[in-house]
Amino acid sequence: MRTDTAPTPTRLSDYAPFDFNIETVALDFNLDPAKTRVTSQMKMTRTGAAGAPLVLDGEDIDLISVAIDGTALNRSDYRLNQTQLIIKNVPDTFTLMIENTCAPKDNTQLMGLYVSGGRFFTQCEAEGFRRITYFPDRPDVLSTYRVTVTADKAAYPTLLSNGNLMEEGDLDGGRHFAVWEDPFRKPCYLFALVAGEFDTISDSFTTMSGRDIPLDIYVDPGDASRADYAMDSLKRSMAWDEKAFGREYDLDRFMIVAVRDFNFGAMENKGLNIFNSALLLADAKRATDMNFQRIESVVAHEYFHNWTGNRITCRDWFQLCLKEGFTVFRDQEFSAHERGAALQRIKDVKALRARQFPEDAGPLAHPVRPTQYLKIDNFYTATIYEKGAELIRMLKALLGEKLFRKGSDHYFETLDGTAATIEQFIECFEAASGRDLSQFMLWYEQAGTPVLSIRTKRDDSAQTLTVSLEQKTYPTPGQSRKVPMMMPVTMALIAPDGEVYAEQMIPLSTAKDTVTLRDIKPGSILSVNRGFAAPVTVNFDQTASRRAHIMAYETDLFSRWEAGQALARDLLIAQTTAIQSGKMPAVDPALRYYTDAIRKTLQDKTIDPGFKALALGIPMGSELLLAMDNVDPIAIAEAGDWLRRAIADNCQIELSRLYTENQSDSEYDPCAQHAARRALKNACLSLLATQGRHDTKATAKGQFDTADNMTDEISALMTLMRNDDAMGDAASDVFYERWKDDDLVVDKWFALQSSRAGKQSFAQIASLLDHAAYQSHNPNRVRALVGGFAMSNPKNFHAYDGSGYAFYTDRVIEMDGKNPGVAARLLGVFEIWKRLDSHRQTLIKHQLNRVIAGKPSKNVLEIAQKALGA
């Protein structure tokens, strides 16, 4: 829908309950790709003001008839516009029946009922149900659903919806039907329907109370063997939720379906999760270790929503973090349990810094609980999800494990079956702990990443170390003044001999505070924000030698890793500044400390490969953007190339040795230990290749030719493409020929192409829009080529002549005509524009204005306007 006038925002402060309760919903679908007929019968009871009209949402659907208690309404009895059906006079208790049609095959937004690969799927969160039938499309209207699906039997042999299968049978004319009933009250955003031809893999899980739950995963015909890992992840998730949170599964069966055209990763529809096939299907040959890891965490995430989201849902969409923040926290804890807590923490912090910190520092910054929006689809953000999870983690750190569990038990017991708010959630933890958490609520209200500044003063004769803490949050759009928040500050001391002692957590609730540590061993070094307990930027000016000491001896592996990152960050900032000003940087003694510390880490046999692999990673460009002003992003990329080369030159022997030592002859196993060895091996190869030596390239070519798994194959390919055009081109062609029939691998191929540097490569990337395999309507493929271009091709995306930005913006505009939700998220990459140099700022501003001038969708308009600061 195009908008000419300024759209009005929805505000948290305007919340009012719906005027009617809908006890039951009976839906009848007569499926046809061109024109599906939907009949809905709702048992309504007035709960609000006497005489209030009944207002239902509806979008892109055609009304056939409306009846109350069996009597058809006349056209004058109701009003109908583009977005609403309003019935003026309705009784206090009645049955409403609505008949309408929708056109699934023309649904390019992939919201509501749509067709993908000849099958029917639905996506209703956040506001897709209104594209299926007229209904109060809001999360606080809870009903039980009975769904009848009718379709051609040959074309759509499998008919699924939420809950339990009650009945199925054949009908005349080659059609058949199935009746599903979900006994749990739910909001309409959790409704799902799937119809088509699938292969199934089946298993079962016995719950803590001894109930046997059949588990079914539905995939494209031929893909069944690729769902084993998802099934295994599901069973482990079910067992973990019983142990860690006391949560048992409730329905009589659990189903997951894979779909190729999908706007997000996956969706937690009650009893019938729907997954982007990229986050469900995996085997050794076609999926990377990273894919396996994501599948495990997303399967867990959607399963965990059954309690955090479905049994207890959100009162309104402003409370989105109630389900998403908590569920991300739960999936992170699950992954920590399955794969090791320290490494999981490092990965989660990396992701937070890559996506959430830039968001919080730019024009799209918003609180974890926003107060207004134009399109709720635009608020499925890193802030709601990832920062939302950090808040739960802090809550646990502040209360301790026992009280945290007591609070979550209390939450599940008292709010089950309701649509709740953040206040109610926090009250449960207050009730369980007896603490006052009102100040903690500020974390939900204030946007922006706090800066925690640390200063120390030692008194050797008194053997004390005084630590001054100061927190400050800078203004964000619409919030010029910030107040201090409550945060856990974790710290420890490291003696010169490496002993770690005086570990503690200090709750900071004022702007400034000081702590005096006593009985200090002379020469001890302070380590702060251990485990990244508080999601803040730490400002603590430590010398390179002290950081190297932390890197050598910290027992908290996160802080050990972080000390290396801090060293690398300083080096990269200095190098970027030098490149920008056209000067050769002075030789920085800190480089020695850094590469020596990396070398020692690589040599240490007691450190496991997973940590070594992470330690070899340098800070992302986005981190440097936030730490500097007026930056040339290409200078950042060049500084990164320089530092990686420096690591290779200084640690060549260790890198070569570890590459060889971490080869394996055993059969591929996606487990964390094996994945860590592959990650380390491939990180070594990638660093060594920066030296441009022929023998390294030959090694990469050999690995590419003989790899028996996708992780090794694609790592070698990436290394070749980055370091040798001819070898890269040749290997890339071989790869495409090898995998051209597999959509998920072809996506990887597109993503690799989009990351190629060099002016000539940009022309090649642009020409891929005409490639036979490019699909401009498929979100996965567009994200691979276009999203990949912005994320992993800084040199072309930020090209000085503006060609990269123009190319990207053209794709956003093109996508907006099909799928505004996906287009708006693509446009979001420009959120960092004010950190860039003035030349880039001008170029991006021009593109954002061009987007607005083209009369975009509401989704895209909201992002473009906010990005501009309008």
The CA-based angle 755-674-267, given to 5 degrees, is 60
Instruction: Determine the Cα–Cα distance for residues 392 and 425; give it in Å rounded to an integer.
Output: 11
By beta-carbon proximity to ligand TRP, the closer residue of 383 and 709 is 383
Minimum CB separation of residue 297 from Zn ion in Å reads 11
By beta-carbon proximity to Zn ion, the closer residue of 325 and 828 is 325
Helix (H, G, I), strand (E, B) or coil at 312: strand
By beta-carbon proximity to ligand TRP, the closer residue of 380 and 774 is 380
Contact 528, 536 (CB under 8 A): no
Among Zn ion, ligand TRP, none, what does residue 427 contact (CB within 5–8 Å per kind)? none
Q: H-type helices in 253-387, by residue range?
A: 289-304, 320-339, 341-351, 357-360, 382
Instruction: Determine the Cα–Cα distance for residues 628 and 742; give it in Å rounded to an integer.
Output: 42
Q: Which stretch binds ligand TRP (CB under 6 A): 202-210, 243-251, 260-268, 628-636?
A: 260-268
Among 15, 18, 380, 736, binds ligand TRP (CB under 6 A): 380
Of 302, 386, 562, 654, the catalytic one is: 302
Residues sharing a CB contact under 8 Å with residue 147, sequence separation 6 or more, in sequence order: 26, 27, 28, 29, 161, 162, 179, 180, 181, 182, 191, 193
Instruction: Determine the Cα–Cα distance for residues 788 and 752; give it in Å rounded to an integer.
Output: 8
Q: Does 107 bind ligand TRP (CB under 6 A)?
A: no
Peptide bond into 126 cis (omega under 30): yes
Short-list 795, 724, 735, CA closest to 765? 795
Short-list 452, 437, 310, 308, CA closest to 385? 308
Looking up tokens 């060609």 gives 803
Short-list 672, 679, 744, CA closest to 227? 744
Site size for Zn ion (CB under 5 A): 2
* DSSP label of 836: B
Helix (H, G, I), strand (E, B) or coil at 370: coil
**Structure tokens that stand for 567 in this block:** 């060293």
Instruction: Determine the Cα–Cα distance for residues 839 and 189; give it in Å rounded to an integer.
Output: 44
Contact 175, 153 (CB under 8 A): yes
By beta-carbon proximity to ligand TRP, the closer residue of 15 and 380 is 380
By beta-carbon proximity to Zn ion, the closer residue of 344 and 719 is 344
* DSSP label of 76: G
By beta-carbon proximity to Zn ion, the closer residue of 137 and 324 is 324
Bridge partners for 42 per DSSP? 25, 96
Instruction: Determine the Cα–Cα distance for residues 393 and 790; give it in Å rounded to an integer.
Output: 31
Among ligand TRP, Zn ion, none, what does residue 126 contact (CB within 5–8 Å per kind)? ligand TRP
Q: Does 137 bind ligand TRP (CB under 6 A)?
A: no
CB atoms within 10 A of CB 60: 17
Could you give the string, one character per residue 267-306, with x where binding to Zn ion holds by CB under 5 A and - elsewhere? ----------------------------------------
Could you give the string, one character per residue 316-345, with x where binding to Zn ion holds by CB under 5 A and - elsewhere? --------x--x------------------
By beta-carbon proximity to ligand TRP, the closer residue of 295 and 533 is 295
Could you give the string, one character per residue 464-483, with x where binding to ligand TRP holds by CB under 6 A and - elsewhere? --------------------
Minimum CB separation of residue 383 from ligand TRP in Å reads 14
Contact 27, 146 (CB under 8 A): yes
248 is catalytic: no
Among ligand TRP, Zn ion, none, what does residue 245 contact (CB within 5–8 Å per kind)? none
Among ligand TRP, Zn ion, none, what does residue 264 contact (CB within 5–8 Å per kind)? ligand TRP
Could you give the string, one character per residue 294-313, with x where binding to ligand TRP holds by CB under 6 A and - elsewhere? -------xx-----------
What letter represents residue 435's amino acid?
Answer: R
Q: Which stretch binds ligand TRP (CB under 6 A): 120-128, 492-500, 568-576, 687-695?
A: 120-128
By beta-carbon proximity to ligand TRP, the closer residue of 330 and 748 is 330
Site for Zn ion in 132-161 (CB under 5 A): none
Residues sharing a CB contact under 8 Å with residue 18, sequence separation 6 or more, in sequence order: 47, 48, 136, 138, 140, 141
Q: Does 123 bind ligand TRP (CB under 6 A)?
A: yes
Minimum CB separation of residue 26 from Zn ion in Å reads 28
Among 266, 280, 428, 591, binds ligand TRP (CB under 6 A): 266
The residue with its CB nearest to ligand TRP is 264
Minimum CB separation of residue 380 from ligand TRP in Å reads 5
Site size for ligand TRP (CB under 6 A): 12
Instruction: Determine the Cα–Cα distance for residues 667 and 708; give it in Å rounded to an integer.
Output: 9
Among ligand TRP, Zn ion, none, what does residue 267 contact (CB within 5–8 Å per kind)? ligand TRP
Contact 278, 747 (CB under 8 A): yes
Q: Which stretch binds ligand TRP (CB under 6 A): 148-156, 265-273, 468-476, 823-831?
A: 265-273
Q: Which residues carry out catalysis? A: 302
Residues lying near Zn ion in the complex (CB under 5 A) are found at 324, 327
Site for ligand TRP, rule CB under 6 A = 123, 125-126, 263-264, 266-268, 301-302, 324, 380
